Chain A
Amino acid sequence: MIHSRKVLKILIVVLSIMVIFVSISAFASQTQEAAKETASASTAPWWVWPLALFVVTFILGILAVLGGVGGGVLFVPIIGGFFPFNIDFVRGAGLLVALAGALAAGPGLLRRNLASLRLALPVALIASSAAIIGAMIGLALKPNVVNTLLGATILFIVAIMVTAKKSDFPNVAKPDNLSQSLHIMGIYREESLGKDIEWQVHRTPQGLALFIIIGIMAGMFGLGAGWANVPVLNLLMGAPLKISVATSKFLLSITDTSAAWVYLNQGAVLPMIVVPS
């Protein structure tokens, strides 16, 4: 636990240095561009947008932790829809916002035993290696087809979650061999009930296999796929809902990192949008 906190601290420091470095190098050339774009799109004074961003993303940050999701699901559609910024900059910012949010939430989640390192690490390893393959496959399919399939899949998951019984604390009669050998189990304090909940997981091989698909999709779209993590961890593997949500949020800090580099390299990260967020 102490070790993981150290690792997280190091990650936060590295990210801060990265952001400062990028800010300095990108600020001079790109803010002018963005200012021109914003000025032509709206008549409001320039400071209105960073202020509005700060307020909106504060609320989004709370919702994102509660749902175990990153920026792809909330930040990009909302900011991209209602703010006068180019969508590429919004996506770049969304990724960094998701990363910063996950890193900020990580220590708190780990301290409360809500996010499980033992559950997150094998899954992260598989998802991030699959993400590289996904990025290599690229966008072979038409974006329209992919989006329609994505939407249909998510809505299908919603239908399962609405009808699923006992998803808050799934009943895992017997953990499988793989989860036992990896020691994927734990206890957390359920504050709302005032008691400790013991949990373990089953169907680990199937779950890990699904994370290959999630990883490939994440790589293809450059998102963290938090929306896919929660149902797999909760409904398939049988981790309690709070554990699934917290572990998913923690996972994003690992899976988003690889995608963040791509956007940084392409110059899609504007300090003016990212900093208030």
Chain B
Amino acid sequence: MLGSMVGVKILARAKPKAIKWMVIWLLLFAGLRALLKGLEIWK
């Protein structure tokens, strides 16, 4: 919750390009995690 408040300030100042890569890395992590869980490699 405290992190969110800091995050808002960073979001306002950060470059959109940086945000784009941030989103891509987060999605990549989430996607791989779900896929590996589905395939029962990482339970």
Contact = CB atoms under 8 A, between A and B. Distances in A.
By secondary structure, the A interface counts as: helix
A150 B38 contact: yes
A144 B11 contact: no
A245 B12 contact: no
A148 B31 CA distance: 9
A158 B27 CA distance: 6
Contacts of A192: 13-16
B3 A101 contact: yes
Interface in B1-26: 1-17, 19-20, 22-24, 26
A77 B17 contact: no
A interface residue count range (under 10 / 10 to 19 / 20 to 34 / 35 or more): 35 or more
Contacts of A104: 1-2, 4-5
Interface stretch (A24-32, A41-49, A105-113, A263-271): A105-113
Contacts of B27: 67, 154-155, 157-158, 161, 227, 231
Contacts of A149: 38
Residue among A59, A109, A151, A167 with the most chain B CB within 10 A? A151
B interface residue count range (under 10 / 10 to 19 / 20 to 34 / 35 or more): 35 or more
B7 A241 contact: no
Contact of B11 (A148, A151, A245): A245
A65 B38 contact: no
Contact of A67 (B5, B23, B39): B23
B11 A66 contact: yes
Given A58-B2, A101-B4, A114-B11, A148 B23 contact: no
A168 interface: yes
Nearest to B28: A158
Interface in A103-157: 104-105, 108-109, 112, 114, 143-155, 157
A247 B2 CA distance: 19
Contacts of B31: 150-155, 157-158
Contact of B7 (A65, A73, A146, A161): A65
A231 B30 CA distance: 14
Contacts of A154: 27, 30-31, 34-35
Contacts of B23: 66-68, 161, 230, 241, 245
Given A62-B10, A101-B1, A167 B37 contact: no
8 contacts: A66-B10, A66-B11, A77-B33, A109-B11, A112-B8, A157-B31, A241-B20, A245-B19
Interface of B: 1-17, 19-20, 22-24, 26-40
Interface of A: 57-69, 73-74, 77, 97, 100-102, 104-105, 108-109, 112, 114, 143-155, 157-158, 161-162, 167-169, 190-192, 227, 230-231, 240-242, 245-246, 277
